[in-house]
Amino acid sequence: MKNINTVITGSGSYTPEVIIPNQYFLKHIFYEKDGTVVDGNGLEVVEKFKDITGIRERRWVKEGQTASDIAAIAAEKAIADAGIDRETIDQIILAENFGDVCKDSIQTDQLPSLASRVKNKLGIKNPNCIPYDIIFGCPGWIQGMIQADSYIRSGMAKRCLVIGAETLSRVVDKYDRDTMIFSDGAGATILEGVESDEKVGILSTAMASHTQEEASYLYLGKSNAPESDPKVRYMKMLGRKIYEYSLMHVPSAMKAALDRSGIPIEEVNKILIHQANEKMDEAIVQRFYKLYKIREVPNNIMPMSIHELGNSSVATVPTLYDMIVKGQLPDHKINKGDVVIFASVGAGMNINSFVYKF
């Protein structure tokens, strides 16, 4: 009996054209949450930031672009890569957090859903193609993949378009150092149900959510600038809390997914993890291997794009994947038969992971 496998048949991504190097922030005045000025001159602040996060530059969208615009661009590329008729797509699942936000406005616009807007921009007329959004924090694209896999395995869908798109540059507080972390971008994949004798594609998944005090680790709050209007709110985070939470919980979710796949850790070829913070991601992977009593992480196991692209939330993992398969990260390749772990953590707090065999 043949297996019904959920496989990626195409991918695409959009990296905004506007490059914002760390030097852009040298003359910025940053404030702590209590309204006091951040210690150190601009160069000291920027260099410390780079040492912690690994980010040298990030990408921001152009003035007239929105999240649904760049989502549609990434989707077009994924459809072309898969070589499919767009009218045969059963579902468009779009992961986002803030909807479309216009320049110089922090008002989020999610009516209609971004997925509906993308279906419109793609010119898809099929009424049986169902578009909807997922708001799941940074793990949204992985959650969309897990959801699409469930629909495909149940027979309710044969082909899904899963997108992650965000324009965080529109919702950050320019007086907060965390502004330097965030960026814009979009990534998309086509998932299809394919019969084969061998078990390939998405092999197993794992998810977790903690919503006691963890629920407010990322939130909307007033600007750090003194005397700012408390009714105007920006994206805020408790960085240390998120770091500690991620190290405590993400490795175990990755282990749960891998154990369910039945594949030994020695056969894992790559780990594609949400590009949140270089040191945090490295620590997560180290702790993951320690759960298997392995102290040395294999060389070249974890590709990174955060140095040039920053943290684009739901877009980091699909963009990283697309860059690898399109040969844009020369030191990393994915070959037939490779086993890859995808994992993410973010607002909620939510965690998820899936194991994929190519």
Q: Which residues of the chain have pLDDT under 50?
A: none
Q: Write down the pLDDT at residue 197.
A: 87
Strands 18-21 and 130-134: unpaired
Burial 40-50 (b: 16+ CB within 10 A, else e): eebeebbeebb
Sequence letter at residue 233:
R
Q: Write down the pLDDT at residue 194.
A: 92
CATH number of the domain that 216 lies in? 3.40.47.10
Q: Assign residue 68 a region: left if phi > 0, alpha if psi is -120 to 50, beta otherwise?
A: alpha
Number of domains in the chain: 2
Q: Write down the pLDDT at residue 357.
A: 98
Read off the pLDDT of residues 287-345 as tens digits, 9 standing for 90 and up.
Answer: 999 999 999 999 999 999 999 999 999 999 999 999 999 999 999 999 999 999 999 99
For residues 34 and 261, what is the distance between their CA atoms, to the nearest angstrom?
47
Asked whether residue 190 falls in the same domain as residue 110, the answer is yes
Total-model pTM: 0.95
Asked whether residue 186 falls in the same domain as residue 244, the answer is no
For residues 110 and 112, what is the distance between their CA atoms, to the nearest angstrom?
5
Asked whether residue 207 falls in the same domain as residue 161, the answer is no
Residue 164's nearest CA partner among 350, 272, 314, 11 is: 314
Domain boundary among 152, 181, 196: 196
Domain around 177 = 3-196
Query: What is the spatial order of strands in the sheet that 91-95 belongs to?
Result: 3-14, 184-196, 159-167, 91-95, 130-134
Q: At what angle do helices 140-154 and 316-325 cross, to 10 degrees?
A: 70
Strands 57-60 and 159-167: unpaired
Domain boundary among 172, 196, 220: 196
Q: Write down the pLDDT at residue 348.
A: 93
Residue 170's nearest CA partner among 239, 98, 68, 275 is: 98
Q: Write down the pLDDT at residue 1.
A: 63
Residue 186's nearest CA partner among 218, 162, 219 is: 162
Asked whether residue 186 falls in the same domain as residue 255, the answer is no
Q: Write down the pLDDT at residue 3.
A: 80
Q: Burial-class residue 197 by CB neighbours within 10 Å (0-12, 13-18, 19+).
A: exposed
Read off the pLDDT of residues 107-125 as tens digits, 9 standing for 90 and up.
Answer: 899 999 999 999 999 999 9
